[in-house]
Amino acid sequence: MNKDDINSIKTLLSTPKAIVIIPHKNPDGDAIGSSLGLYHYLKRHNHNVIIIAPNDYPDFLKWMPDEAEILKYDHKKEDCDAIIYNAELIFTLDFNSLGRIGDMETIVSQSEAIKIMIDHHQQPDDYATYTYSDVSMSSTCEMVFNFIDMLNDLDKIDSDIATCLYTGIMTDTGSFRFPSTTSTTHTIVGQLIEKGADNSEIHNQIYDTNSYARLQLLGRALSNLKVIPEYRTAYITLSQEELNAFDFKKGDTEGFVNYGLSLKGIIFAAIFIESHQDDIIKISLRSKGDFSVNELSRAHFSGGGHTNAAGGRSELSLSDTVDKFISILPQYKKDLNQE
Ligand code: 5GP
Ligand code: MN
């Protein structure tokens, strides 16, 4: 995004507009945090702003300021289609390919609204009028902070905006521990705390609201953990039957994949989660160092993401998906054994 782009966007935002903000399907803390942070900022400027999420998200995100205002496309398709149709400006946040918004893809790609992408995933598609893409960023929330800064409006950040942006930076950086966390990230979260983000309370809301059943499910996931030392790889499976037995709720498996990576010597971790509802196996991949799970997921599991964190899917059965996973590891033997 260059100076001319910023000036054009400034002009656009200088009069009230009908704006829609869209996060990706199965939105996470960064997707919801960045959408709500931008929402509050644009509302302060008297725009008519509506967030439309493709579908629902976990309860641990349902406390952020004005979260209850978010529309879910899969509940109210016709209303949402009309809102998108009438939008003058659409912000797409935390994704870079319209395939990531599920059933919303058709109406959004048909819309004649000016589109602004703000995102940190690799290999962005070229659908937006203005693209602010930076894969070196910890999170889309960090980029929304920068976006507000580029518009010379840092003084407009209040405690609602700060709370939402802090949340997404915290969740996408694994509480500031992933390598994507830079000194600038810390400088920004410092400013967000000064502007009213309650860091300890936000952490509490996200991570200390477990149900007993979720911890039991984690216990099952950990007992299913398998290690393949020659490829420095660990993986977890969870069948639909196991999810049902522990009263699975959306978001309950968030973060489970990281336990594989916490094993000494392991640099590649995966979790395979059976979903009867979607009729697929949902896959999360994580790595340490240069091993790119984005590339592996794009090549074998119809997904993508970042070098060290990616998602994907498989239409095979759970056991066939695991067999496929194990069968592709030899291709990566050299990469997985590099230090
Ligand atoms: P998760 O494993 O938590 O679902 O996703 C890890 C990261 O990869 C997140 O940043 C997520 O947005 C991204 N991601 C997940 N699934 C996909 C996908 O199918 N395509 C792309 N491009 N990114 C994905
Ligand atoms: Mn993100």
Local confidence band at 339 (pLDDT 50, 70, 90 cut-offs): low
Per-residue confidence (pLDDT) for residue 228, from 0 to 100: 98
Q: Is the pLDDT of residue 274 over 90?
A: yes
Residue ranges of E strands in the chain: 18-23, 48-53, 71-72, 89-93, 114-119, 130-133, 226-228, 233-238, 268-275, 280-287, 304-305, 309-314
Backbone angles phi, psi at 17, to 5 degrees: -130, 160
Spatial distance between the Cα atoms of 80 and 107, rounded to a whole number of angstroms: 9
pLDDT tens digits for range 196-225? 999 999 999 999 999 999 999 999 999 999
How much is the pLDDT for 133? 97
Is any atom of ligand 1 closer than 6 Å to the C-beta of 121?
yes
Ligand 2 is a single-atom ion; what residues have CB below 5 A from it? 30, 94, 139-140, 172
How high is the pLDDT of residue 234? 98
Retrieve residue 156's tokens: 């407009």
- The mean pLDDT of 300-313, rounded to a whole number, is 96
What is the pTM for the complete model shown? 0.95
- Distance (Å, whole) CA 314 – CA 300: 9
Helix 159-172, helix 29-44: angle, nearest 10: 160
Locate the ligand 1 atom nearest the alpha carbon of residue 26 and give its number: 4
Angle between helices 140-150 and 159-172 (to 10 degrees): 140
- Residues shown for the chain: 339
Note the ligand closest to the C-alpha atom of 310.
1
Structural domains of the chain in order of their starting residue, each with its CATH number: 3-207 (3.90.1640.10), 213-336 (3.10.310.30)
Supply 130's token pair: 């203005």
Task: Give the pLDDT of residue 106.
Answer: 97
User: Is 304's C-beta closer than 6 angstroms to any atom of ligand 1?
Assistant: yes
CA 75/CA 59 separation, integer angstroms? 17
d(CA 283, CA 237): 10
> Looking at residues 60-69, what average pLDDT do you find?
98
